[in-house]
Amino acid sequence: MKILNFSRLNVLYGAILFVAFILIGRLYFLQIVNGESFSDEADRQYVNPNQKIFSRGSIYFKYKNGDLFPAATLKTGFTLVMNPKLLENPEEAYKKLSGIVEIDMNAFYNKANKKDDPYEQILDRVSLETGQKIEDLNIEGINLYRQRWRFYPGGKLACHTVGFLGFKGDVLEGRYGVERYYDDLLQRKDGNLYTNFFAEVFSNISSSLHKENREGDIILSIEPSVQSFLESEVLKISEKWKTELVNGVIINPKNGEIYALATYPDFDLNNYSQEDVSVFSDPFVENVYEMGSIIKPLTMAIGLDTGAVSAETTYDDKGYLILNGSKISNYDGKGRGVVEMQEVLNQSLNTGVAFVANQVGKEKMAKY
C-alpha cells in the first residue's frame, strides 16, 4: 500500500512537471520565437497602414559609476485622428475631447466638415495615458494611431553635442551634433525596440538578443553631473560679462575623453522651433578659429621653460622678418626697435614670437 501511494505521488509530480514544461515551452515560442511578429501585429492595430513605426538608436551619457543616462531616446504615444465620414456629432465629440486635451475649436470643426476625407489629423504626440482616456470615450470617427518620436530627457543638457532630428526635404534625419554625425549608425529597422524580458530571464540566448536590441545605440563620454556643472558656470560667465558667446570644456588629459562640453547661448532640444538657427551649431567643433595670438603665450612659455629667453631678453623689432622666403609682419607692419619679452605679449608681436621660436630651435619646438 505504501509503495502504491509513493508511485501515485511520482505520477502526480511528473504530471505537474510535464504541464509546467509545456507552459514554459509555449511562453518561449510566444515571447522569443514569434515575439517580434506578435509585437508588429499588435502595433498594426493602432498604426495607420500608410505609416511606419519610427525607430532610432538611443544616445547615452555615462555617469562615473558606469550607469547610463538617456540623452536621446524614443517616446511612445499616439496620433489623434478624425474620420469626418464617421463623425456624427462634431459638437459632442469636441466637448468630450477638449475635456482631456487642448484642441483648437475652429480647426476641429473645419476638419469635421471635410466629409469626403477619411483621414484628418487632430493632434500629434499624444501621451499613452492621455490616449487611453480618449480611447475610453469610444467616439465613432475618432481614432488613435501608434506613434513614436524623438525625446531628449535632459532638455538643454549638452544640447549642442547631442543635436536633434529635423526634416531635410521629406526625410527625417540628424541635423546637428551626434544625431547628424552618427545618423547612419543611429538609424535602425522597425521592430528593434522591443526588449524581451522573458528571454532575459529564461533563455540562454538573452545576451545575443539584448545586443540586437541595442543595435545603433551610442554611449558618449559626457558625464551628466559634470556637464550640468559646466553649463551653470558658463551661464554665470555670460551673465556677468554680458557676452555673445561662451564655451567651456572639461577633458581628461590622460586619455582625451571629454566629460563636458558646453556652449551658451543654448536651447531646449524638445522645443527648438522658435530658436534662431544660428544657435544650433557648436562653435567648438564646427567653426574655424584662427589660433594666432593664443599660441603666442604658449610659445613664450616654451622659451622660458627651455631657457632660450628670459624676462630680460630683448630683440630688435623691425616690424617684419623674412622666413623661408616669406615675409612675416606685425599686425600693423610697424617696427618698435629694441623690445623686451613682456612687450611681445603685451602688443602681440608676430616678429617677437618668431624670434622666441628661433631661439628655442625647431627640434625642441616640435617636441613641445
Q: Report whether the peptide linkage leading into residue 90 is cis, meaning its omega lies within 30 degrees of zero.
A: no
- CB–CB of 85/115 below 8 Å? yes
Q: Tell me if residue 72 falls in helix, strand or coil.
A: strand
The pLDDT, as a whole number, for residue 36 is: 52
Taking the C-alpha atoms of residue 203 and residue 195, their distance in angstroms, rounded to an integer, is 13
Give Cβ neighbours of residue 146 (< 8 Å, ≥ 6 apart).
43, 46, 47, 53, 76, 78
Lookup: cell for 191: 521592430
Q: How many CB atoms lie within 10 A of CB 344?
A: 28
pLDDT along the chain (368 residues), means of 10: 60 78 74 55 48 83 96 94 93 95 95 92 94 94 93 97 91 93 84 40 40 70 98 97 94 94 96 89 83 88 97 95 91 94 95 95 94
**∠ CA 220-224-229 to the nearest 5 degrees?**
130
- CB–CB of 368/302 below 8 Å? yes
Name the residue with cell 477619411.
118
List b or e across 90-110, with b for residues whose CB sees 16 or more CB atoms inside 10 angstroms. beebbebbeebeeeeeeebee
Give residue 214's region: left, alpha or beta (phi > 0; psi -120 to 50): alpha
Query: Considering all CA atoms of the chain, what is the largest pairwise distance in Å, rounded to the nearest integer?
Result: 122
Taking the C-alpha atoms of residue 154 and residue 364, their distance in angstroms, rounded to an integer, is 46
Output the CA torsion 120→121→122→126 (10° steps).
150
Taking the C-alpha atoms of residue 117 and residue 111, their distance in angstroms, rounded to an integer, is 9
- CB–CB of 142/134 below 8 Å? yes
CA distances from 97 to 71, 91, 108, 270, 273 (A): 33, 10, 10, 25, 26
**pTM of the model as a whole:** 0.66
- CB–CB of 340/366 below 8 Å? no
